[in-house]
């Protein structure tokens, strides 16, 4: 039996959790090279590429196409390491900046590699080339549906732990065939794969 006090507490926790998920999804704008990008590029070739650090955790063994620079699966998902990321028309600093991604942690898909450069795209298919120093192997996803329900277990009948607004960016955890565990500060739960972008439909994560 659920008491009135318990019911009110559950509602309060749901509303409180949702408040942590109202992040704004990255937008684009024309821009020049940022100091943050310059600092990162000055450190290139001093170690393994950032996306290699955690990439094996989310890599799909079934993918046969491998990147020429990293030998990792293509395509694959990564995230933006910096608060801004310049997206260029080609794989070098001499190419013009077409767009700037403006949300640290936003999920991105790598579709090609050329030396230290990665061709990436976002959930809308917008993108271009970025230097590897601007991306990370940490996996995130973006909510596709407005007020998506996060459940305590990968089951539609499980308790609702939070509601996530469309465009919210969360860290990706485990994934089954149909569900993924996601989390942000103050909230976590399971959501159907069809309601997020940043994971392959057949991807399994332990």
**Structural tokens at position 125:** 């298919």
**Structural tokens at position 69:** 């620079």
**Least confident among 15-29, 48-62, 162-176, 181-195:** 15-29
Tell me the whole-structure pTM to 2 decimals. Answer: 0.74
Question: Whats the size of the chain, residue-wise?
Answer: 206
**Given this model, what pLDDT does residue 196 score?**
98
pLDDT of 200 > 90? The answer is yes
pLDDT of 183 > 70? The answer is yes
How confident is residue 194, by pLDDT bands cut at 50, 70 and 90? very high
Closest CA to 111 of 126, 133, 96, 93: 126
Q: Which long-range contacts (CB under 8 A, 24 or more apart) does 60-63 make?
A: 60/200, 60/202, 60/203, 62/202
Q: What is the mean pLDDT of residues 88-112?
A: 95
């Amino acid at each position: 039996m659920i008491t009135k006090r318990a019911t009110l507490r559950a509602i309060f926790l749901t509303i409180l959790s949702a408040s942590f998920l109202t992040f704004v999804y990255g937008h684009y704008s024309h821009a020049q090279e940022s100091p943050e990008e310059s600092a990162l590029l000055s450190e290139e070739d001093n170690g393994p590429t950032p996306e290699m650090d955690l990439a094996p955790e989310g890599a799909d063994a079934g993918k046969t196409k491998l990147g020429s620079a990293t030998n990792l699966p293509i395509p694959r998902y990564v995230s933006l390491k910096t608060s801004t990321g310049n997206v260029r028309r080609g794989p070098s600093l001499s190419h013009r900046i077409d767009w700037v991604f403006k949300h640290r942690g936003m999920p991105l898909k790598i579709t090609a590699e050329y030396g230290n450069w990665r061709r990436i795209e976002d959930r809308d298919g917008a993108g271009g080339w970025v230097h590897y120093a601007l991306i990370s192997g940490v996996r995130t996803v973006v909510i596709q549906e407005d007020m998506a329900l996060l459940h305590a277990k990968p089951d539609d009948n499980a308790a609702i732990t939070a509601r996530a607004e469309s465009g919210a960016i969360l860290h990706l955890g485990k994934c089954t065939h149909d569900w993924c565990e996601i989390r942000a500060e103050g909230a976590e739960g399971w959501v159907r794969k069809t309601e997020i972008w940043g994971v392959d439909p057949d991807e399994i994560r332990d």
